[in-house]
Structures are given as structure tokens and as C-alpha cells.
Amino acid sequence: MNTTERGAARRNEPVSLARLAAHLGLSEGTISRALNNYPDIAVKTRERVIAAAKELGYRPSSTARRLARGVIETVGFVLPAREGHVTDPFLAEMIDGMAGELAAHDWDLIVAAVPEGHSEVDVAERLIRAGKVGGFVVTRTRRHDPRVDYFLEQGVPFVVHGRTEDPSGYAWLDVDNEKAFVDAVHYLYNLGHRHIAYLGGDLDFNFASLRRKGYERAMSEVGLEILPGYRVDGVADAVMAKTAMAQMMTLPTPPTAVICITDAVALGAMRAVWRAGLKPGHDVSVIGYDGLPIGEAADPPLTTMSQSSHEAGCEVARMIRALIDGADPTDFQVLWEAKLTQRASANPPAHLMERSSKGGNE
């Protein structure tokens, strides 16, 4: 390699602290203290160092920056200890949002699974002892969640996507789950539905409890009775939803509409409607919750209460960075609203649609 080639290669290399110090004729210690705004460095020296760093394209290494700040710029996310979490589309979107937001600021995300026989708290404790993370993001919160209790006791920075029954003392980002299901019932009622069923989740989870509460509250508000068999809890996935919906279709008065705890559950319900020889959106209207892209590709496209799981991931990443940097957790308690995305899976009941069609032909 000739002198010109060596010079070009050197220009393409990352600029080290030693190279910056040699360029300015100062010690590495002085350079470091100037870049970290120590008061014992003269203003003119600090300005000269900063200008040279910008000119040469110097960027401190992640390790050096973290040591200088005394902050671990890595966030931990322990996958909920349940079957199906690896393929959960909501979690996948959320993790993608977190990872992208953190990476944009040169922070890292550690995603850890829970080994058999262990708990999420066990995994979090191991990561803390190893000094690998500066804080955590928690999701799929239970009404009384041991992870929240543990982080509060340990004084570890954390953000909850969701809430527990008592959300007063920590940072969280949640969607108004109760209102979302009130809105869904009112939407179907205004379309003309009077037989509205509900496929819910595990009531240990706070979001499932709130969504069921919203369904029950709205049914009362519009004066509708919840008929026997119209409310099924503990529906965790599309397979369970298909079974539960098939049973609903055999009731003496089958529902003309069903509201589902998630989009995945809604897709399972739609499969059951098809298998019964009926058409979702015509014979039985179906509404989901999550706003996942897969819903738009369903047959028919799924009406859903939308929240952006990707944007939620970005937002909790912003929040946990602030907390690790010392912000007050109670300044970060945010409630979003879900929005109804209207598609072809929810329409007026078939008898009303047929009456309207006949009237239009006369």
C-alpha cells in the first residue's frame, strides 16, 4: 500500500480519541473532559476540541460514552412467559418499534426469553445482576403484576406498556381499552345489531378485564341483554376463537355480530363463520382489536379498533431512555385512544341489508 492509499484508508477509519488528541496536541484526558463538559477545562479549549471533533467526524465509542456517563444504554425486554409469544404479531411490531428507536440513538435492546421452570422476574434479576441493562420495558401486564412490584422494590427504571389496577407510582403508556370496546358496541348498535357477542381474553390480564368491562358497560348503555353463551373469556388465539365462535353459531339465537379481544381472535372467529356456511360481514359482523396489517388482507378485510403497536414500541423506547437518564416516572403516564378502522367485516345485519336492497329495487 503506497502513501496515498494509506492516507485514504486512514481517512475512512473511525476517528479515535488518541487521533483527535494527536491532531490538537492535547492529552487524551483533556480531550475526554472537554467533550464531557467538565468545568475545569477552559471555554476556548472546549470550543476548539468540539470544533475539531466535528471536523474530523469523531464519535465516542458506545463503551466509552457509557463509562463516562455512568449509564447503561441498553434496555431489557423479557418476553412474556406464555406459549405463542414468539409468533405474536403485536409483540413483533412493538419490538421492531423499540429496537429502531433505540438504535437511532445508539442504544441497544436485549430481548430475553424465559427458560422452562423460571419466571420473568428471574430473567430480569439475572440481567440486572450481570449489569447488562439500564432499565426495562414491560408488556402484557396482569392486574397485579409481580414484575412491576419487583422493579419498584429494586428501584430499577422501567416503563409499562399497559397498566396494572394501581398505575399510580410508575411510568406507563396504555390505550383506553374500556372506551375502545364501548365504542365498538355503539358502532354495531348504530348499524342495527341487537345480538352482539364478545370473545374475550384471560381476565388476569388488565387489558382483557378492561375490554370486557367496556363491552358490558356499552351493552347496558344501549339497553341490550347479554344472552347466555354470548360472552366467552379466556380466548387466547385464533384456534380457540374458531372453537368458541362455532359454539356461538349453534345457540338458539346466534349473534349477528361479535367483538373480539384481538385481531388474531377475530380472524379465528371469521374462519368459524365461513365453516358454518355463512359470510363474515354479511351474516355475522366481526370487529377485532390491534389494527395489525394482516387484518387488511383478511377475507373480508377486518374492521378493527386500531392502535399502532410499532409506534407504541417507539414511544416506550423514548420513555425508558428518559427514565434511565433520571426523569421522574410519574411524568410519563400516557393514555392513548384506539380508533375504529372501518372495513368490510362489519355491516348492518343481513335482514336490514336485504330490506334496503329490496327497497332500492322497487
pLDDT tens-digit profile of 109-124?
A: 999 999 999 999 999 9
Identify the pLDDT of residue 11.
46
H helix intervals, the chain: 3-12, 17-24, 28-35, 43-56, 62-69, 89-103, 120-129, 146-154, 177-191, 206-221, 238-248, 263-275, 293-296, 309-324, 350-361
Name the residue with higher pLDDT: 350 or 228: 228
Dist. CA 211–CA 209, nearest whole Å? 6
Mean per-residue pLDDT, 172-195: 98
What pTM did the predictor assign? 0.79
Task: Count CB atoms within 10 A of the CB of residue 254.
Answer: 20
Mean per-residue pLDDT, 31-35: 79
DSSP-assigned letter for residue 266: H
Instruction: Specify burial of residue 96 (Cβ count, 10 A radius: 0-12, 13-18, 19+).
Output: middle
Identify the pLDDT of residue 359.
57
Dist. CA 78–CA 75, nearest whole Å? 10
Dist. CA 88–CA 77, nearest whole Å? 15
- What value does the mean pLDDT of the chain take? 89
Q: Per-residue pLDDT for 5 more than 90?
A: no
